[in-house]
Amino acid sequence: MQLRKRRVVRVSAKGNRIVASNSAIQIRPTKDIILFTGTQESGKSYAAKEYIKKLKRVIIWDYNWEYTKREVTLICHSIKEVVWGIKLGHKKIAFQPQQLTETELESLCRTTIEHFRCSTLVIEEIALFQLTNTKYIAGNMPSLKAIFDTGRHERLRIGLFITSRRCIGIPPDITYNAMHMFIFQQDRPNDVKYIQEQIGTDLVEKLDYFPPFYFVHYQRTPKKTEIHKPL
């Protein structure tokens, strides 16, 4: 099969949804939980950023310090700076923590609930935390659990964009509640098996037979799973 070059497709904002012009994928930024997962250079990060850059109000947990002033209006290295930025009216904020700690992530979630509702919270590489125990999350990270469970409700209206190279280690509440999953190529059998159990199809395995940057899109309601061309 001849490999194709990545096809650039515009992503446009449309009301309170985001619409990719080469598909019928529609995302509600302040309600939906969205998961982007795939190996390095699979197209996962590119696709996530194509959607994220169109968000109107967003806070990003940017542990790898990937975002720049071209993509956000404020870069912070402490929660105090995040709160300060919100009070000044910034609507696109990247939080680049000094350390990967659950305490820092929970603080960012709590700050979002208290000061930045009607928005989207982006958590990059969440599997690094290995948060696979729901009871542990509820007891130690209640703000994160609240966004998982009730962020879509009118009281909060906080959507979640989650990225992760690996599927193993993603909190089960994410895969259970995700409205959309963008699943790029996986190279570990355990990850493939895990995600296929979640979405009920073997399409993830078939990605190996497609050109680079193709992905499986899973939608929970109405249920739909299909392979998409690159964004």
Q: What is the pLDDT of residues 26-84, one digit of tens each?
A: 899 999 999 999 998 899 999 999 999 899 999 999 999 999 999 999 999 999 999 99
Residue 63 lies in a domain: yes
Residue 14 lies in a domain: no
- Return the bridge partners of 13, or none: 18
Residue 4 lies in a domain: no
Rounded CA separation 202/70 (Å): 38
Q: In what order do the strands lie in the sheet with 17-20?
A: 11-14, 17-20, 26-27
Q: What is the pLDDT of residues 187-217, one digit of tens each?
A: 888 888 888 888 888 888 888 778 888 898 9
Q: What is the pLDDT of residues 78-104, one digit of tens each?
A: 999 999 999 999 999 999 999 889 999
Number of domains comprising the chain:
1
Q: Structural domain of residue 163, as residue ranges?
A: 30-228
Residue 12 lies in a domain: no
Q: Which amino acid is at 129?
A: F
Rounded CA separation 79/160 (Å): 19
pTM reported for the whole predicted model? 0.88
CB atoms within 10 A of CB 190: 11
Residue 70 lies in a domain: yes
Q: What is the CATH number of the domain that holds 207?
A: 3.40.50.300
Q: Which amino acid is at 53?
A: K
Residue 9 lies in a domain: no
Residue 152 lies in a domain: yes
Residue 113 lies in a domain: yes
- Nearest one of 56, 45, 35, 13 to 231, comparing CA atoms: 45
CB atoms within 10 A of CB 49: 19
